[in-house]
Amino acid sequence: MTLNYQFKIICGLHRSGTTYTGNILSEHSSFQVLHEPCNPEWGIKGVEAAYPYLTSSTPENNKTVQLLNDILNFRRQWNHQPPRQLKPLTHLLYRLSGGQAGRTWSTLRLKNALNSLPPVICWKDPFTTFALEHLLSTYKAQAVCMIRHPGALWHSNRQLKWPFDIKVLLEQKQLIERYGTDIPDRHWQLATPDSPASIAILWKLMARLISEQEKSQKSLITVRHEDLCVQPTATAEDICHHFGIHFQNKMHTYIAQTSSEDKKELAQREAFSFERDSKQIINLWRDHVDKTEEHMIQDIIGDDLGRFYECW
């Protein structure tokens, strides 16, 4: 299907640098980033489940396929329900606008009606990762998938108290048949919403899908969170090269302002800030994940760690 703009995707694992990458690209003069339209809690109206699995052969009359096509053609409304408890005035403003992402969506819908969309529109949306095969083949999209060490991923999710219900994966039989038939029952049984096992299984399935798609799709590259932290400018330049855009001065300035080595690692309450010592944060998790959790994650992921990391 043909779109009247270039469609890009930043996806992969949550807490792996997707938002920061999106922020860097937002500094580009012709690049519009849309934040998580497929988030079932506060994205586009009608999104029912997280991480839908779609392939190039999924029928066009599939409900999720139709939803994605509607979003890409600006036919849906944004969900204006606040994602958390807000102060009364902020709550009212959110209900009116849908927050920053909702305002971006409204602007894009208006520009679409006026036939004045920006040349490049990018979804920053981890929830689209399992739908990559469909999106890349159907819309000729280009994608960057972010990956992060599973130990660090677990620590970051636990720090933010983000539970993950593994049922959203188990309920998708095609996904499990393709990537998870060898996962033993004991691992599934360990995967309660607040357990490192649930994050480890998500990591395992996503790593398998991403590495498979990267081998078959030239329009997809994988970027490690650790590389983005240690070499943010070089990594951002690689992403721009993949997307076919110039690395502009404003992007370089943003990186310099947000990843300076004289910044200190932030406390939990500031976990969403990007002003930090980016080189030091990549191994902080090792002091906070106990051996029981570490062994559980290692046992579940097994040799799949080698798809992106040489050693634990």
Give pLDDT, residue 270.
44
Condensed to tens digits (0 to 9), the pLDDT of residues 65-82 reads 999 999 999 999 999 888
Distances (CA, A) of 282 to 105, 169, 286: 33, 28, 9
| Mean pLDDT over the full length of the chain | 92
- Structural domain of 238: 6-151+218-286
44 secondary structure, DSSP code: B
For residue 203, tell me if it sits in a domain. no
CA 6, CA 64: separation in Å to the nearest integer? 21
For residue 34, tell me if it sits in a domain. yes
Give pLDDT, residue 101.
94
- Work out the percent of the chain whose per-residue pLDDT is above 70: 93
Q: Which residue type does 258 have? A: T
Give pLDDT, residue 277.
55
Q: Find the CATH number of the domain harbouring 80.
A: 3.40.50
For residue 209, tell me if it sits in a domain. no
Give pLDDT, residue 80.
87
Number of other CB atoms surrounding residue 191 within 10 Å: 22
Number of other CB atoms surrounding residue 93 within 10 Å: 14
Give pLDDT, residue 94.
86
Condensed to tens digits (0 to 9), the pLDDT of residues 261-306 reads 444 334 333 444 445 555 567 888 999 999 999 999 999 999 999 9
For residue 280, tell me if it sits in a domain. yes
Q: Is the pLDDT of residue 125 over 70?
A: yes
Q: Is the pLDDT of residue 213 over 90?
A: yes
For residue 162, tell me if it sits in a domain. no
Give pLDDT, residue 280.
67
Give pLDDT, residue 244.
95
**pLDDT (average), residues 76-91:** 86
Pair 10, 152: CB distance under 8 Å? no
For residue 194, tell me if it sits in a domain. no
* pTM given for the model: 0.92
CA 278, CA 265: separation in Å to the nearest integer? 8
Pair 264, 281: CB distance under 8 Å? no
For 41, how many CA atoms within 13 A lie in the half-sphere containing its CB?
7
The count of domains in the chain is 1
CA 22, CA 32: separation in Å to the nearest integer? 9
Give pLDDT, residue 137.
95
For residue 189, tell me if it sits in a domain. no
Strand partners, 11: 145
Distance between alpha carbon 4 and the CA centroid of its chain, in Å?
24
Report which of residues 16 and 282 the model is more confident about: 16
For residue 198, tell me if it sits in a domain. no
